[in-house]
Each structure stands twice: as structure tokens, then as C-alpha cells.
Amino acid sequence: MKIVVVGSLNMDLVVRLPQIPRPGETLLGGVFKTFPGGKGANQAVAAARLGAEVALIGCVGDDSFGQSLRATLACENIDTNHVLVRPGGATGVALIQVDAKGQNSIAVASGANFSLTSGDVEKAMQAIGDFDVLVMPLETPLETIYTAAQIASQKRIRVLLNPAPAQVLETNLLELVDVLLPNEHEVALMTDIPLQSATDTRRAAEKLLLMGAKNLLVTLGNQGARLFDGKTHQETFIPAYPVQAVDTTAAGDCFVGALAVGLSEGKTLLAAAEFASAAAALSVTRAGAQPSLPDRNQVRQFISERNKTP
């Protein structure tokens, strides 16, 4: 089972505070830490820790952050041959604030992530050869995402698209997507339907399925996830595992990476989503983006402990 991620790498500069400051407000008392992050790299690490062979296609600058991020990924046994280094470019940076409830706000300076071209992606995918699942968040140029989706879909490789950060997508991209994985904010932005109830979610899901996505998996944080089958239009609710949240950063990335692993192993979409839900719950109990991502044994143990009857 081999997974290719086309996506971003960022250095996360994180401050923990009792609450996230409002515009114009200065708050003291925060603790500062640096973590490797970026949605693409996080999804790649999540998949690798859960046992998949993973290659990441992306871009960093020729600075110390870029060096450090590439080295970290190599330690996770991720193929970094297609993480290009842009001379004179700056590596992506995310400024993250995490509050006492583990909620975050994130500002990203994309830097080299946005210098990835369709030509880079074509070359890298040709060199990588065969693989089972393509995974992409939206932190690289949209045209690179479209190119990668086209190549994968021509080869009948499954395409997982995590539309984060949210943006409105054209049907010609959505038609290439096997599983679209938005959270509730992304669904609301993509469909112009605010999600206040399960009925809203269903209405928005129908809209996205009509736009071309074959399946839709809406993640709702500690409210679980809703899976919509594009063929049968059947809706299945996947409950969340209740946990004490420390930091929700990268929980969505963990879900995406774990889902890709489950699908590449031949699990059904529902079984893969249940596995992903356990992995994501576990990630929420730890601080940081990549340091929070669990390995296979930790997820197995978590599921078996949670499924024990009292």
C-alpha cells in the first residue's frame, strides 16, 4: 500500500494561552513552542505512522526551517525526494494560538508551498510510478491539485481531497474526487449553506455530491463525522470518541491520513472512517501538529480500550 500526498510543509510557531486574543488585544502568559506542521506533511506523517509507504510532493525554501522539516519527514521513512528546495525561497510558516480548551486559530505564510508547479507534480508522479491513494489538502496552488487529480484519476487511483483551508471549488476538480473530506466550516463556505442542524448538513452534502464528488465525509470535530455515499445517497453517522482535548491542531490531518491508510488496505469507506475517527481522537489528546499523530499500535490499543464493555 502506497500513498502519495501533494501538499504543504510549514514550521508551526505555537503559543498556548488561556484564550485566543481578540483583534487589538494583547495577552500575556503564553508558552511558545515550535512544531513541524503543514497540512500536507501532517497527512503524510499520519499515514506513515499508521504503516503506509508514503511519498510527499511539495516545496520548501533553502532555509533552516526547510532543512529541519525535510529531515523530520525522512526520519518518519517518508520519501522526500520530491520535496523540492527553492533557492532564495522561504519555507511556509504557521502562526498558531491554542487556547485552554485546545481550540486554535492559525495564520499561514505559505512561502515556497505556493511555488509548486503542475510541471513539478507531473515529474514527481512519473518518477514515483504506481501507488494506491492520492491525498491532497489545499495549501498548494489549485492548478497543481487539479493536475495531480487528473493524473491519478486517469490511472484509476483513488483521490482524497481535503478542502482545507476552505475555498470554492470548480466541478471539473470535484468530478475527479473519490472522497471529499471537509469540516463543517469548509462545507458552509463551499456550499453557502451554514450548518446549524443535521438537515443543513444533508442539504449541503447533496449539493457537493451534485457538483461531482463521488463520496463525502464531513468531519464535525467532537460531534463525529457524517458519511454520504454518492451512489446510494445513504448517510451514515460516525460517532466521535470522547476525549479530553489538549490541542486540536492537525486532528483533521490525522483523520485524512488514517482514512487513506484504511482505504489503501482495502477497508470499506465506513470502516476506514471509523479507524480514522479513533486516530484523530487520540491526536487531540496531545500537543502540536506532527508530535500529536499516533502510530498503529497506539490506535489499536485505544480502540480496544474504548470498546471494552464496562
Minimum distance from residue 232 beta carbon to ligand RIB (Å): 31
**Contacting residues for 210 by C-beta, under 8 A, at least 6 apart:** none
Minimum distance from residue 92 beta carbon to ligand RIB (Å): 7
d(CA 88, CA 98): 31
Q: Segment contacting ligand RIB (CB under 6 A): 34-42, 61-69, 75-83, 201-209?
A: 34-42
Q: Which residue in the set 45, 205, 218, 250 belongs to the binding site for ligand RIB (CB under 6 A)?
A: 250
d(CA 192, CA 171): 15
d(CA 274, CA 281): 11
- Site pattern 51..90 for ligand RIB (x: CB under 6 A): ----------------------------------------
Q: Which residue in the set 39, 49, 82, 214 belongs to the binding site for ligand RIB (CB under 6 A)?
A: 39
Q: Is 38 in the site for ligand RIB (CB under 6 A)?
A: yes
Report whether 27 contacts 21 (CB < 8 A). yes
Q: Which residue in the set 249, 264, 277, 292 belongs to the binding site for ligand RIB (CB under 6 A)?
A: 249
Q: Is 12 in the site for ligand RIB (CB under 6 A)?
A: yes
DSSP letter at 170 equals -
d(CA 294, CA 115): 30
Burial class (CB in 10 A: 0-12, 13-18, 19+), 168: exposed
Cell numbers standing for residue 140: 498548494
Strand order in the sheet with 31-37: 31-37, 10-16, 92-98, 104-109
Q: Segment contacting ligand RIB (CB under 6 A): 33-41, 70-78, 146-154, 294-302?
A: 33-41
Residue with C-alpha cell 496552488? 141
Q: Which is nearer to ligand RIB, 37 or 58 (CB)?
A: 37
Cell numbers standing for residue 295: 502510530
Minimum distance from residue 269 beta carbon to ligand RIB (Å): 22
Comparing CA positions, the residue from 104, 70, 98 lying closest to residue 85 is 70
The widest CA-to-CA distance across the chain, in whole angstroms, is: 58
Q: Which is nearer to ligand RIB, 91 or 191 (CB)?
A: 91
Q: Considering 132, 178, 247, 253, which one is annotated as catalytic?
A: 253
Quick check: is 247 catalytic? no
Q: Is 102 in the site for ligand RIB (CB under 6 A)?
A: no
Number of residues near ligand RIB (by CB under 6 A): 16
Q: Is 220 in the site for ligand RIB (CB under 6 A)?
A: no
d(CA 3, CA 257): 9
Cell numbers standing for residue 131: 501507488
Which neighbouring-strand residues pair with 158?
A: 133
Q: Which is nearer to ligand RIB, 97 or 249 (CB)?
A: 249
Q: Is 108 in the site for ligand RIB (CB under 6 A)?
A: yes
Residue with C-alpha cell 473519490? 178
- Secondary element (H or E) of residue 306: helix 296-307
Q: Segment contacting ligand RIB (CB under 6 A): 32-40, 48-56, 122-130, 183-191?
A: 32-40
Q: Which is nearer to ligand RIB, 135 or 209 (CB)?
A: 135
Active site residues: 253
Residues within the interface to ligand RIB (CB under 6 A): 8, 10, 12, 37-39, 42, 94, 106, 108, 139, 249-250, 252-253, 289
